[in-house]
Structure 1
Amino acid sequence: MKKKNIRILLSLILIAAHCPFLFTQSAMGRIEGIILDGSTDKPLENAFVKIQNTTLGNVTDKNGIFEFVSLPYGKYFLEVSFVGFKTYSYEIEVNKEITQGIIIHLYPVPIETSPIIVTGSHSNSKFDDMNELINVLKGKELERELGMTLASTLKNETGLSIRSMGPAPARPVIRGLGSDRVQITEDGIQTTDLSATSPDHAVSIEPFTIERIEVIRGPKVLLQNTTTIGGVVNILRDEIPESFQQKFSLSAGIYGETVNKGYLGSVVTKIPLGKFVFRGEISHRKTQDLNTPIGILKNSDIITDNYSVGASFFEDWGLIGVSVRQFETNYGVPGGFVGAHPNGVDIKMFKRQFNFKFKHNFHSEKIEGVEIQLSRDYYRHTEYERADLIGADFSIYNYRGSVNLFNNQFLFFDRGTSGVSFEFRDFNIGGFVFTAPTKSLKLSGYSYQSFSLGRFSIDGAFRISFDKLDPRRANPSSKTEFLINRKFWTYSLSVSALYGLTENFFVGGNISKSSRVPTIEELYSEGPHLAAYSYEIGNPNLKSENGIGSEIFSYYKNDKFFFMITVFRNDLWFYIIPRNTGKINSQTLLPIYQTVGESALLTGIESHLELELLKDLSLNSTLSYTFGELKNYNSPLPQIPPLKYFAELKYFADQLTLGLSTEVSASQTRIDFFEQATAGYAVFNSFIQYSLITDFAVHNFSLNCDNILNKEYRNHLSRVKIIMPEAGRNFRFTYRVYL
């Protein structure tokens, strides 16, 4: 009997050693989420959600909702698939009883955001939802809006307009603010070019290979920029792949338009190999001179070549990746202005950029992960008065890096990002430009945090920066008083609050303190800039730009209706602008522009409407208006866009979409001295899109007709409005295939 008891005891010990779960109960959790169509934001019914490396799977209901129950705490990989849509992988940490707030967008083509590694407590905020609705171009909508440049692609977005000097040198303007107040980034890395400094300089981005565009406003701006009243236009390409994929993918496309006899071809591919994912991209664009309703805008042609190669190595802890991009473009700046060459100026631009990214995921309750980014750029920009005569030559060596720490629940914060960054720039100038070559250094520290308190959602951020600029003597004619070393300490703050009155109706506001350091050109310019047709004089004694921004907004959203309205006020007690003095330089016959700091006030209103009229018929519209004033003179601020209204009617029939839209602009008669007024206009456009889904590929076709009535109209922010209107009737065709 004693031996029998010993055998039973030994058996129990062995069982306990090998099966401890019989004696201890594991913590269990549940996952709940929703699957949406990334192009329409509508729920996807019967999408299949699988937990990798398990036999667990589920399908979404008619509301796109899925759930998994009785899951032990730990890390899981969800794989989401749906017929005709790209399969999506998603990593999640189950560390509480119910993990909610998971929103996954599937796309009928491989166009999506760079995946975000999240934990159960890291869900989308109401601000993210709001931004997704009004400030993001993606999927078929992005394909439909693709234009010659980034600015023309974004021109109908809420609050945006275009500053241009011909088709190529065009740049987005937000609420009347341009220059580097609007920062352009690619995969979160600031682009290196001179588009923010002069109207004749182009943005070094090929829009056709973009996967997604985000216009970031509010506190999140401070992760990139100190100017809270402006914004960040973030281009997403996934150039350094951030998600591991098991299958080869390829997208190829062609684009053509009649208004300039332009064409483009591109190929983008991702290739998995072991623990690596490689990405390659190539594109070529060529256009001739632009046709307008009254004639040809001479010297407005473009030739662009764009190449990129990237690779990432994946492990359980995260990834490490590198990429290199080369962008080359030759374009013309039209002539016909005061002091301009009769045939305009030709510009050759070259950029080569190397990027490095390291991402480590901790999967802890408080710390999500850390990310390190490093970039090195070489940029060259040459302006030719004629084939054998260089008018201006700019070159930049730029080095930048950042370290970001992503937190989950920390103190009373739900999630956030904190980090430090640096940027060193060696800016050299040659030709007949007398701005001093300058070395500059920027050091920054910043933090963005978000939390909820009952029905309140609150976002807040700060950024502190130190800038040092060291000009060098350019040539014997440079004035000694212009060669002043400058140092700036600046700080910016921003807080947004959103309150849910009901499940569908929200009100909120933002208040921010904005700052901006003068650019090298604003400080040290002192001579002709022939391609911009101006004689530019800087001010080396400028202070940093400072002001207070505020806005109040409200939105209502249900399954069939979305409406948002925003009222803003930006009070700048030192606003840096180049003003036309009305004088002409006697040697060059160029108009003299002097950089000054003035007190300025910008106020305005914006609205955004999406309405489902019928099951297959919807109406979208936006309205944007900015009122700018120089406070000390009670006179209009220069280069402010007029009131603009955009409306679009869309009809859906399975894989077919038809649309008709109109752009309506008021006249702009509130102008600065020596600025030209513009008349109002109404332009009508149409489009048709069709998707063909086969066993192996998705084919997307888009045909647009812009300015159907061949209307003569002028963009108030265009310098060529003096000699020519905007483009005439234009047919645009886009075809893309996704494998």
Structure 2
Amino acid sequence: MFRLAKISLAVVTVLAQSQLAYAESAETAELAADSKLERIEVRASGLKREVVEMAGPVTVLSGEELLRRTDISIGETLKYEVGVHANYYGPVASRPVIRGLDGARVQVVHNGMSTGDVSREGPDHTITADAVTAQQIEVLRGPATLLYGSGAIGGVINVVDNRIPQQIPQQSDTILQTRFGTAASDRSLSFAHDNGAEQFAWHIDGNVRKGNDYKVPLYQNDEGDSSKRLQNSWSEHQVLNIGSSYIAEQGFIGLSYGVIKTEYGLPEGPAAEYEEGEYIKLNQRRVALASEYRPADSLWQSITADIAFTDYDHAEFEDSEPGTEFLSEALELRTTATYELADSWRGIVGYHGNLRDYQALGDETFTPNTDTDSHALFMLHEKRFGVVKLEFGSRYEQLTHQAYALEDSLGSRDLEQKFNLFSWSFGAVYDVQPNQQLTLSYSQAQRAPAANELYANGIHIGTRSYEIGVGYDVSNTNGVAQIIHNPNLAKAEQANNIDLGWRGQFADVSTNINLFYNQIDNYAFLANLGFEITDFAAYQYQQQNARLHGMEASISWQITPEHQVTLIGDTVVARLRDGGYLPRVPSYRLGAEYAYRADSWGGQLGLTHYGKQDRLAENETATAGYTVVEAGVNYYFDWQQYELMAFAKLQNLTNRLGFVHSSFIKEDAPLPGRQLVLGFRLNF
């Protein structure tokens, strides 16, 4: 890997030297200013860089495109983005999968700070970040551990909103939006309001949503039971957020408070075991403070401090009786200082701390109560040399798990485990020509296994399995399992990831292509052991060396100002180094979309094909491919002083039956069938 990185760097350096005269010419700045490449600020980059300045692959969903893609969960909202799939535990608990990685390896943050939920502990746990009132959603593919910690070894998703205002609005701004979907009679109403006076600004937003069980194409399970609905896929959701800031010439300080209340069913197959079905009730309360100071200094551009406290609980019910309750209190602190030197060096240094108290209560708990503390120092620097911009960074993190009353076949004990983690990265952006860039990034990132990956030992209703952590020796003799904890078994993961990308604008054609190779040592994955414990299939987290490689590409042709055609494709191959494939990895995907845009209306027609997944792990079954057709139309009009937009979209137009390979319950939870979504948005 080091050899490959050195060769790539040498190529970039030679190309840069050959183009030095071009870089030093006076017209370079003018050409760059007229660039047609996407110039959207990426908040998650730390240095607030634009997309064209990023060495690693990044996607920003905003504006009309975000409105069109917004769905009832982050996973469903992002699942059509290049390189992003969803693990799918029903539409509500749908978590993003980036390049075959999900769970504890993909960090979802809200305005740069952790969501504080327990979605990474199980695929049936929903993400509390909401796309409905977001201004933009940023997807950083590949390791983003430097700013966000070892939980972002596979990527980071940043949901950006105006909950803590950073500028005083020039006038009052209110948005009302309503939606209705036919597949589940899903109806929602959301609002957002921003205003300010003198040096104060304030924000309030909220949304309510309710849906029934989803209609699906007719399907059967292995026992021959059939259904036209995804049983127990109903949901109810309420959110309210308020925030205010004091804004001065040299910075701001703001505070926000948010409440989330959600109930949703855990989807079941055609033959439901429980009359009412299993469901989850969750509550979250979150207080966040953000501040920035911009000193009148030639060196330090800004100093920031962000604090977030999240109080989260959710209970899993069976036949109206609570079985397991999860409690989590998390306190997060991030401080940064950004500098700029006279010779074009820019950088950021900072501290990131996270304290979490996690408890699992009830007769069906499968993880012990665990306190997790992490403290980290990080830095990221960049400098431009003519047509080449180089960046490098590093992070040192110390993470400690303190597990209480950990149980195995020998009894119960307390246990503390510490991990010292070091990550670093290098990147380069080479301006081949105006509007054409070659990018290279290499990173070596370390991750400590999450508490559930280490200490799980019990029935996990969400995955319908008996789940065992990586830190156990497991034996099965005559149907009797022996599970004995061994702290020496668990090791930190180390990902060596290289990305090579090309983005460019050729007349009316824009392209974005990325190749990646990710070698992960001590990769922890949940493997099917092939036997049962207490009538549940036994799964254990195992650590082996793995290799993931693939490609992502998108090409758009602006045929005329009104007509555009876009093609996308992505694929990932995930193997164990000693042979075999990793489980629950999405197959390849190909898509095409035609879009029309007139003065007051626009429309889209798209087709996405998901290939058959037959690269299977041990004790895993193949998943058939399927094709989804979608269409949409949106119309803009003014009424008095109001801006209004009406939109409609048809999802799964051909009512195709599709199963998600990355889902633990793929046989019992097909994707929704044909659905018409109607919406209306009012801005005043």
Q: Structure 2-normalised TM-score?
A: 0.87
1:708 matched to 2:640:
no
Q: How does 1:685-724 map to 2 (within 5 A)?
A: 685-694=630-639, 696-724=641-669
1:126 matched to 2:52:
yes
Aligned equivalents of 1:123 and 1:713: distance in 2?
39
1:578 matched to 2:522:
no
Aligned partner of 1:187 among 111, 133, 145: 111
Aligned equivalents of 2:142 and 2:300: distance in 1?
24
1:733 matched to 2:678:
yes
What secondary structure is seen at the aligned counterpart in 2 of 1:196? helix
Letter in 1 for 2:359: N
Pair 1:254–1:599, CA change in 2 (3 A): same
Aligned partner of 1:616 among 562, 566, 585: 562
What secondary structure is seen at the aligned counterpart in 1 of 2:150? coil
What secondary structure is seen at the aligned counterpart in 2 of 1:311? strand
Aligned equivalents of 1:142 and 1:261: distance in 2?
22
- Residue in 2 that maps onto 1:420: 351
Structure with greater contact order relative to length (CA < 8 Å, sep ≥ 6): 2
The root-mean-square deviation of aligned C-alpha atoms, in Å, is 2.7
TM-superposed deviation, 1:127: 2.6
Pair 1:340–1:512, CA change in 2 (3 A): farther
Contact 2:192 2:205 in 1 (8 A): yes
- Residue in 2 that maps onto 1:256: 180
Q: How does 1:56-455 map to 2 (within 5 A)?
A: 124=50, 126-128=52-54, 135-217=59-141, 221-226=145-150, 229-294=153-218, 295-336=228-269, 341=274, 344-387=277-320, 389-409=321-341, 413=345, 415-431=346-362, 432-455=364-387
Letter in 2 for 1:646: G
Aligned equivalents of 1:469 and 1:594: distance in 2?
19
Contact 1:616 1:652 in 2 (8 A): yes
Contact 2:563 2:594 in 1 (8 A): yes
Q: Residue deviations 1:48-88, cap 9 Å, x none?
A: xxxxxxxxxxxxxxxxxxxxxxxxxxxxxxxxxxxxxxxxx
Letter in 1 for 2:582: L
TM-superposed deviation, 1:676: 2.0
TM-superposed deviation, 1:436: 1.3
- Residue in 1 that maps onto 2:484: none
Pair 1:539–1:720, CA change in 2 (3 A): closer
Q: Which has the larger radius of gyration?
A: 1
1:561 matched to 2:509:
yes
- Residue in 2 that maps onto 1:489: 420
Q: Residue deviations 1:433-487, cap 9 Å, x none?
A: 1421111110011112222111112222211100111111268x78557742100
Contact 2:245 2:254 in 1 (8 A): yes
Aligned equivalents of 1:628 and 1:706: distance in 2?
30
Moved more, 518-527 or 401-410: 401-410
What secondary structure is seen at the aligned counterpart in 1 of 2:75? helix
Aligned partner of 1:591 among 537, 554, 566: 537
Contact 1:259 1:730 in 2 (8 A): yes
Aligned equivalents of 1:430 and 1:391: distance in 2?
8
TM-superposed deviation, 1:576: 0.7
Aligned equivalents of 2:651 and 2:550: distance in 1?
28
Moved more, 481-490 or 323-332: 481-490
Aligned equivalents of 1:188 and 1:652: distance in 2?
34
Structure 2 gap ranges (5+): 1-28, 219-227, 472-486
Letter in 1 for 2:541: T
Aligned equivalents of 1:180 and 1:719: distance in 2?
16
Q: How does 1:630-709 map to 2 (within 5 A)?
A: 630-632=576-578, 634-694=579-639, 696-709=641-654
Letter in 1 for 2:461: L
Q: Residue deviations 1:302-332, cap 9 Å, x none?
A: 1000010100001122111000011110000
Identity of aligned residues (%): 25
TM-superposed deviation, 1:335: 2.6
Aligned equivalents of 1:219 and 1:462: distance in 2?
12
Aligned equivalents of 2:136 and 2:644: distance in 1?
18
What secondary structure is seen at the aligned counterpart in 1 of 2:415? coil
What secondary structure is seen at the aligned counterpart in 1 of 2:65? helix
TM-superposed deviation, 1:213: 0.5
What secondary structure is seen at the aligned counterpart in 2 of 1:605? strand
- Residue in 1 that maps onto 2:493: 545
Pair 1:712–1:694, CA change in 2 (3 A): same
Aligned equivalents of 2:52 and 2:352: distance in 1?
28
What secondary structure is seen at the aligned counterpart in 2 of 1:501? strand
Contact 1:603 1:627 in 2 (8 A): yes
- Residue in 2 that maps onto 1:606: 552
Letter in 1 for 2:402: D
Aligned equivalents of 1:137 and 1:456: distance in 2?
27
Structure 1 gap ranges (5+): 1-97, 106-110
Pair 1:160–1:410, CA change in 2 (3 A): farther
1:501 matched to 2:432:
yes
Aligned equivalents of 1:214 and 1:471: distance in 2?
34
- Residue in 1 that maps onto 2:457: 526
Contact 1:218 1:510 in 2 (8 A): no
1:510 matched to 2:436:
no
What secondary structure is seen at the aligned counterpart in 2 of 1:531? coil
Moved more, 608-617 or 173-182: 608-617
Letter in 1 for 2:556: E
What secondary structure is seen at the aligned counterpart in 2 of 1:166? coil
TM-superposed deviation, 1:551: 1.9
TM-superposed deviation, 1:532: 2.5
What secondary structure is seen at the aligned counterpart in 2 of 1:635? coil
Pair 1:230–1:724, CA change in 2 (3 A): closer
Contact 2:465 2:537 in 1 (8 A): yes
Aligned equivalents of 1:416 and 1:112: distance in 2?
16
Aligned equivalents of 2:538 and 2:630: distance in 1?
39
Q: Residue deviations 1:111-140, cap 9 Å, x none?
A: 99889999xxx9747334996xx6011101
Q: Structure 1-normalised TM-score?
A: 0.81
Pair 1:690–1:230, CA change in 2 (3 A): same
- Residue in 2 that maps onto 1:49: none
- Residue in 2 that maps onto 1:467: 399
Aligned equivalents of 2:44 and 2:83: distance in 1?
27
Pair 1:343–1:533, CA change in 2 (3 A): farther
Letter in 1 for 2:337: L
TM-superposed deviation, 1:560: 1.7
TM-superposed deviation, 1:637: 1.0
What secondary structure is seen at the aligned counterpart in 1 of 2:87? strand
Letter in 1 for 2:525: I
